[in-house]
Structure 1
Amino acid sequence: MREDPDEITRLKIALGRISRTVDTLVSGGGLTRTQLSVLGTVARLGPLGIGELAATEGLNPTMLSRVVGKLESDGLLQRTTDPVDRRAARVDVTDEGRELHCRLRDERTQLFTDALERMSGSDADTLMSALPALESLASVIADSGR
């Protein structure tokens, strides 16, 4: 398949526009996109070791430490000592952090649900049919950054 650079640009613009618009419409309470991503990852997969979290998020340890520190000071995450390796730290979500994560997830899901309902049936069906390809694209891009 020969990719058309103009169509690839359109895809990139559309995905970026969707992402920015969703971020604008569903506020994370003043948290950055990175902070929200870390919170979401810990809420879904936690508790996690700091190294495992850094690898999952694709962040360097210094940046992750700042992000976790901010989320911890906001009462959304908590650090504990790893029970196996007492020198290492683990991060888990607090009740407040889980509540924020679930609220934002539900609001974003509703935003997409409402938008899909306003689209033509054939466009919504086409978009949902493209979901496996979009997930594959996300994985390939994420893997190329590691």
Structure 2
Amino acid sequence: MTEAPDEITRLKIALSRIARTVDKQVSGDGLTRTQLSVVGTVARLGPLGIGELAEVEGLNPTMLSRVVGKLESDGLLRRSADPSDRRAARVEVTDAGRALHCRLRDQRTQLFTDALARLPGHDADSLLSALPALESLAAAIADPGR
């Protein structure tokens, strides 16, 4: 790797600052980042088993069970028995959960669209061209054995 430690630090700071700023500007209706992530994952991937969801989210099943319980009591997720194994639970998004997910996704998309439109064209183009590399970085961080 040829990047200087200062450049790595700048990348980390910029990505963290973007994430924090987006979180501040687009309210999650009082939900934590983890809770919003769980609703979003279930909304995108459809009904999931608790084990599958724990793996996708990178959470231990006990922690996930608490998160799902909170989201279920808020009316955003619904838990039911797995039809193929009655001992296992499946989780699906409710209409309210889907509406929340779509509203926040649309607001965040608009936030990025507006910000990119305010940048000089070459900067916006550079950011969009960097998407494959940023996606690879996200995957490498999520799966260190990769």
Q: CA deviation at 1:144?
A: 1.5
- Matched pairs, number: 146
Give the equivalent residue in structure 1 for 2:61: 61
What is the Cα deviation at residue 3 of structure 1? 1.8
Note the aligned Cα RMSD (angstroms).
1.1
Query: Secondary structure of 1:28's partner?
Result: coil
Question: What amino acid maps onto 1:110 in structure 2?
Answer: Q
Does structure 1 residue 96 correspond to structure 2 residue 92? no
Partner in structure 1 of residue 143 of structure 2: 143
Identify the residue that residue 116 of structure 1 maps to in structure 2. 116
Aligned counterpart, 1:76? 76
Query: Which residue type is aligned with residue 81 of structure 2?
Result: T
Query: Equivalent pairs: percent with the same residue?
Result: 82
What amino acid does structure 2 have at the position aligned with 1:111?
A: L
Identify if the C-alpha distance between structure 1 residues 145 and 107 changes in structure 2 by more than 3 Å, giving closer, same or farther: farther
Measure the CA separation in 2 of the matches of 1:74 and 1:108: 22
Q: Provide TM-score, normalisation by structure 2.
A: 0.98
Q: 2: distance between equivalents of 1:138 and 1:105?
A: 19
Distance, in Å, in 2 between the alignment partners of 1:5 and 1:66 is: 39
Amino acid of the structure 2 residue aligned with 1:72: E
Give structure 1 stretches of 5+ with no counterpart: none
Where in structure 1 do 4 or more consecutive aligned residues deviate above 3 Å?
none
The CA distance in 2 between the partners of 1:138 and 1:87, in whole Å, is 34
Residue of structure 2 in register with 1:46 after alignment: 46
Residue 145 of structure 1 deviates from its aligned partner by 7.9
Could you tell me which residue of structure 2 aligns to residue 35 of structure 1?
35
Give the counterpart letter for 2:22 in structure 1: V
- Give, in whole Å, the separation in 2 of the partners of 1:124 and 1:100: 29
Which AA in structure 2 matches 1:109? T
The CA deviation at 1:64 is 0.2
What SS does the aligned partner of 1:79 have? strand
Query: What is the TM-score when the length of structure 1 is the normalising length?
Result: 0.98
Secondary structure of the corresponding residue to residue 87 of structure 2:
coil
Deviations 1:15-58 (A, max 9, x none): 00000000000000000000000000000002000000000000
The alpha-carbon deviation at position 7 of structure 1 amounts to 0.2
